[in-house]
Amino acid sequence: MNQVLNFVSEKDLKEFLSRVSPGALYGSYLRDEAHIFGRIDDLEKVELGLRIARSPVPAKTVFAPLRERVAVYPSRDYHWEVEIPEESLPTVLGIRGCDLRALEFLDLIFLEDEVQEPFYAARRKNTVMITTDCAEIAPSCFCTVLGTPPYPEKGFDINLSPIEAGFVVEAGSERGEELLAEAQGLMREASDEQVAQRDAMRQKTIDALNEQNAPYKFDKPIAQIVTEGKESEKWHKLVVPCVECGACTHICPTCYCFYLYDQPTEYREGLSERVKGYDSCLYADYGKMAGVGGMKPTPRPTLAARLRHRFLHKYCWAPEKYDVFGCTGCGRCKDACSGAIDVREVIKELAE
């Protein structure tokens, strides 16, 4: 890509954003001091969240919402275009490196094969991705432990790196360059000093991550630790704080499991609809099948087996199949867990 880096000042940022985002805007902002990732109705009024640590809710929720209608039947005219009109090109603003990598992971599942997940595919295809570097981190962040940096490297249209009094702007795609052309007057080429500031900010974040994750330096690859821990008795102890709420998987940017259920629809009288909602492999019902004499067999009857399954999927089978972890190191699962189960601690425990 074009290596020219630009600079936009804090003062011009909102004007810049309104020029480069022609349609609806979603992203990182503050509401009553809470960091939200969602629809931004009034860019003028909102306080953006581009200089703080990642939001508690992942960017995934914009592309694969918690619950959505996916079919109406019997009917032939219902399509995802009904829910996701092709012409509007929404922008998602403030996606962190981890969340962008999470979307690239979801792409491997939802966009692979002849049959794509059409709702995700439509949103993913039509969305302008404006990403940002992490100038701040959350205490649970550990992306660097997994070998990935706290900033996006590829896969964005435009990346914004927070520095003093503004942002270094980088185009990552042709679409990004075209959009930047709309904001010509608001940018100038970044000075060497500004580029140096960006690099220093990045290094500072990496240093902070390394420091906070010093206890999690493993001498073996994580995939090997978890694979070798497969038969460990420790799972029974590790799972004790778990109350099977599923918060960890619901908040996770890379978890993609869902279930389908049918109900009467408001779309048109007399028809039924099929709804898709997040599922969790921690739930006992997740794998339960119909069985002889009313028994409901499941491949993983114990909670310990289900927790192990979550780890094996993320750290062993995902790399086996796709060559990347099914975890970005965002740490959200720990923050969401009522038992504060920390994946880093689980891996450390297995490694000991």
Ligand X SMILES: Cc1cc2nc3c(=O)[nH]c(=O)nc-3n(C[C@H](O)[C@H](O)[C@H](O)COP(=O)(O)OP(=O)(O)OC[C@H]3O[C@@H](n4cnc5c(N)ncnc54)[C@H](O)[C@@H]3O)c2cc1C
Residue 329's binding partner out of ligand SF4, another protein, ligand X, none, with CB under 5 to 8 Å set by partner kind: ligand SF4
Q: Is residue 73 involved in binding another protein (CB under 8 A)?
A: yes
Which DSSP symbol is given to 273? E
E strand or H helix that includes residue 169 = strand 166-171
Residue 256's binding partner out of another protein, ligand X, ligand SF4, none, with CB under 5 to 8 Å set by partner kind: another protein
- Interface residue with ligand SF4 among 336, 346, 347, 350 (CB under 6 A) is 336
Residue 29 or 119 with smaller CB distance to another protein = 119
3-state secondary structure of 197: helix
CA 316 – CA 314 distance, rounded (Å): 6
- Interface residue with ligand X among 290, 295, 323, 352 (CB under 6 A) is 290
Question: Which residues, 6+ apart, have CB-to-CB distance to 102 below 8 Å?
Answer: 58, 59, 60, 253, 254, 328, 330
For the chain, give the number of residues.
Answer: 352
Residue 115 or 289 with smaller CB distance to ligand X = 289
x/- string (CB under 8 A) for another protein, residues 285-304?
A: -xxxxxxx-x--xxxxx---
Q: How many residues bind ligand SF4 (CB under 6 A)?
A: 26
Q: Using CB under 6 A, which residues numbered 277 to 296 contact ligand SF4?
A: 282
Minimum separation from the CB atom of position 123 to ligand SF4 (A): 20
CA 309 – CA 311 distance, rounded (Å): 5
Q: Using CB under 6 A, which residues numbered 95 to 154 contact ligand X?
A: none
According to DSSP, the β-strands at 166-171 and 158-163 are: antiparallel
CA 234 – CA 219 distance, rounded (Å): 20
Q: Is residue 243 involved in binding ligand SF4 (CB under 6 A)?
A: yes
Q: Look at residues 346, 146, 102 and name the one whose alpha carbon lies nearest to residue 242.
A: 346
Minimum separation from the CB atom of position 266 to ligand X (A): 23
Question: Which residues, 6+ apart, have CB-to-CB distance to 295 below 8 Å?
Answer: none
- Interface residue with ligand X among 115, 214, 289, 295 (CB under 6 A) is 289
x/- string (CB under 8 A) for another protein, residues 194-223?
A: ------------------------------
Q: Is residue 97 involved in binding ligand SF4 (CB under 6 A)?
A: no
CA 102 – CA 96 distance, rounded (Å): 10
Amino acid 105 reads F
Residue 320's binding partner out of another protein, ligand SF4, ligand X, none, with CB under 5 to 8 Å set by partner kind: another protein
Q: Is residue 245 involved in binding ligand SF4 (CB under 6 A)?
A: yes
- Interface residue with another protein among 257, 284, 324, 351 (CB under 8 A) is 257
CA 213 – CA 267 distance, rounded (Å): 50
User: Residue 325 has which token pair?
Assistant: 């972890």
What are the two backbone dihedrals, phi and then psi, of residue 226, each rounded to the nearest 5 degrees? -70, -40
CB of 135 closer than 8 Å to CB of 51: yes
Minimum separation from the CB atom of position 80 to ligand SF4 (A): 26
3-state secondary structure of 160: strand
Applying CB under 8 A, the residues found at the interface with another protein are 70-75, 78-80, 109-110, 112-113, 115-118, 230, 256-264, 272, 274, 276, 279, 281, 286-292, 294, 297-301, 305, 308-309, 312-313, 317-318, 320-321
Residues that bind ligand X (CB under 6 A): 289-290
Binding site for ligand SF4 (CB under 6 A): 242-248, 251-254, 282, 314, 327-333, 336-339, 341, 343
